[in-house]
Amino acid sequence: MKAGLYIRVSTDEQAKHGFSIRAQKDKLTKFATSQDWDIEDYYIEEGVSAKDMLRPELSRMFEDIKTGKIDVVLVYKLDRITRSVRDLYNILDLLEQHNCKFKSATEVYDTTSAIGRMFITLVASFAQFERENLGERVRMGMERMMEEGKFTGGISPFGYHYNKEAKTLVIDDDEAQVLRLIFDSYMRGLGEERTAKKVNQMGHTTRNGTTWTGKTIRDILTNPVAAGHLRWGGEVYRNFVDPIISEDQFQQCLKLRESRREMSPRAAGPSHYPFSGILKCGRCGAALKGQYRVGRVKEDGSRSKFKHYVCTKARGGSCDFKQISDTVVNDVFLKRLNQDLKDYQTALDKEKDAQQEVSNIEKETRYLEAQINKIQSRKRKWQLAYADEAITLEELKERTAEDREAHEILTKQLDELKQEQPDADPVYMVDALTDFIENWHELDDQEKKITLQLFVERVVIDAEDRRGTKTQLRQAWITDIVYK
């Protein structure tokens, strides 16, 4: 009888149970010799799991069975060839179709009788149950580690590295510097692609040594780990690591990205007029529309274009506001921003002592976040209690439903509380206006328009009636500006 000796081992099994390739091969060879079988071939899988049948050597053995090269398949143990009942049925069916037998060297299995087939199926069922049960225990163990603030392993998120001794994630100073640069650049008006270009130009690469792209920048901007919250297994574990940026900055970044997605195609589309859409007439309140006029022909045959804004009601004679140049609008706008920056700086200086105390809103926010974390932790405890048969399935469903309802209520309260925080916080406005003014001249017209749409609700402008000259610009002023 021609025998095919199938041998498989995974790294963990070899370390824990001694199922080495050499040991299996020696025992199977001796067993085949004692049965007076001819060894046709050895089919050896090293470091391969038995969770499915997608294995090179197993597939090769199946082909040899189909061509009649093998009369009996010999394994050290049943779980060497499969741990799945379904796969076992398929294997036994294949063996029966080609008149091939199956034998375990350490177990009493005989596929030549109905009783033997039934017994081997039962054993495979227990093997599958053990595998699934082990997977469940491993998953619960990993969840418990996360609850205790211990990282379960794998690839550390950008900005952090893994401390093996403490089993925690700690800030990587070099990567953290790049991460802060990414958030700061994006918050200052650069898009994802322009941020990637800036980071690359400064000589920074990803952890893998590749250049940054819009996608990799987007992955950084949307990952809450930068603010200290780790996303794992479909859950977000708040305050899991030390934050690299503040919670406010991360939320502002998300709000900025959301605003850019919701911006109308016309507002977000290509434009040479940064103030269109937000600039309003100080006399009638109508919108000012961007236009340009063509200058005289130059010596090289080209013509200069001069941008300006006109009141949409002036054309019909309903308003006497005369067109105003883009240069004048730009100058008076920046002048107003600088004045607002001084005013907010003054207010900030007066409130420094008061701001040292944590506000009631911040205290309530931390309380609600703590309650939400308790619910998430309690949900896992119910699952463990059910797994240990301490509660029934109905009790598990009932308590899970109660927690889900409480979670929704607390989340809603947290969202409402965050909306109560003042938009014109002096600290935020000082930082925002400073960044806005410093980066304004580095942006092109389209980027200026996007930044204005996100930062400013409207700008109301008025000006004297006379036209400006080369020696004396037309006097204009901002009568009102509303920030978002």
167-202: b (≥16 Cβ within 10 Å) or e: ebbeebeebbebbeebbbbbbbbbbbebbbbbbeee
Closest CA to 312 of 265, 277, 267: 277
Closest CA to 4 of 51, 53, 58: 58
Domain 148-261 carries which CATH code?
Answer: 3.90.1750.20
* pLDDT at residue 429 in the model: 77
Please state whether beta strands 230-232 and 235-237 pair in parallel, antiparallel, or not at all (unpaired).
antiparallel
pLDDT tier at 286 (50, 70, 90 boundaries)? very high
Spot the catalytic one: 10, 20, 49, 259: 10
pLDDT digits (tens, 9 = 90+) for 364-419: 777 888 888 888 777 767 767 766 677 787 887 788 888 888 888 888 887 776 66
Vertex 203: Cα angle to 198 and 206 (nearest 5): 85
Task: Identify whether the C-beta of residue 179 lies closer than 8 Å to the C-beta of residue 159.
Answer: yes
> Average of pLDDT values for 6-10?
89
* pLDDT at residue 177 in the model: 94
Q: Across 15-116, where does the E strand assignment appear?
A: 38-46, 72-75, 101-104
CA distance 186 to 304: 33
pLDDT digits (tens, 9 = 90+) for 40-65: 999 999 888 888 888 999 999 999 99
pLDDT tier at 270 (50, 70, 90 boundaries)? very low
DSSP assignment of 425-456 equals: -HHHHHHHHHHHHHHGGGS-HHHHHHHHHHHE
* pLDDT at residue 423 in the model: 47
Task: Identify whether the C-beta of residue 313 lies closer than 8 Å to the C-beta of residue 319.
Answer: yes
The predicted model scores a pTM of 0.43
pLDDT tier at 15 (50, 70, 90 boundaries)? very low
Q: Considering the domain 2-142, what is its CATH architecture?
A: 3-Layer(aba) Sandwich (3.40)
Q: Which sequence spans correspond to the domains of the chain?
A: 2-142, 148-261, 263-484
Asked if residue 323 has pLDDT above 70, the reply is yes
Concerning whether 264 is annotated as a catalytic residue, the answer is: no
Residue 312's alpha-carbon distances to 21, 164, 166, 281, 315, in angstroms, are 84, 66, 66, 9, 6
Better pLDDT: 431 or 202? 202
325 forms bridges with which residues in the sheet? Answer: 308
> Average of pLDDT values for 120-140?
64
